[in-house]
Amino acid sequence: MKLYHGSAFLFDNFSLNDAGEGTGLKFGYGVYLTESEASAVHYSQPRGLKPMPNHYLYTVEIPELTSDNHLVSAKPVPESIVARVEQQLGVKAPDAVKSAGKEFRKWIGTTQTGAKKAGYEEEKRAAEFLDGLGVIYNVWPQAQSKPDGLKNIAVFNASRVQIVKREAIEIELQAKKWVLKNRMEI
């Protein structure tokens, strides 16, 4: 599956050492990717920082989505995933958390740590736990108004993301959105 990632930094491999520092962990712990090249270009400029001097667009490949290898943020969790998680944790998931991947992921993290609310550590623990069970992605729509449109994906394990192309890009701000001005493969 081909996806994109925008960054102000040039690198050869993805790492989760700085997870959450660019856009936070709103959609969980992982490498954030998108089916939209335009979104990746926009996110090559970190929010809240002065314009960075360099920007890069990564074209990447990840294993295909299957019915039981990912959570969808706002959709019910497949029973096959619920069963694997409950068996491994040794506890039954409350019905309320099974109705949305986001809530299920947070429940896993807080169940593991004992925290009342999911923060960085809980998101990281949930991602590592799910990846170990073969649930390797968290998926959400690029536009909430188009739930079946382009997708964004958080990959729980950086080693699953393979870079197939790197480009140095120039961007410019148009109508409060960073857009592609020029590109050069590197």
Render pLDDT for 112-132 as a digit per residue (tens, 0 to 9): 999 999 999 999 999 999 999
- Report how far Cα 117 is from the mean position of its chain's Cα atoms: 20
> Does the reported pTM lie above 0.85?
yes
pLDDT in the model for residue 20: 66
Calculated CA dihedral for residues 166, 123, 88, 64, nearest 10 degrees = -30
Long-range contacts of 116-121 (CB under 8 A, 24+ apart): 120/20, 120/25, 120/29
Alpha-carbon distance 74 to 44, whole Å?
A: 26
Q: DSSP assignment, residue 160?
A: G
48 CB neighbour count, 10 Å cutoff: 6
Residue 145 predicted with pLDDT over 90: no
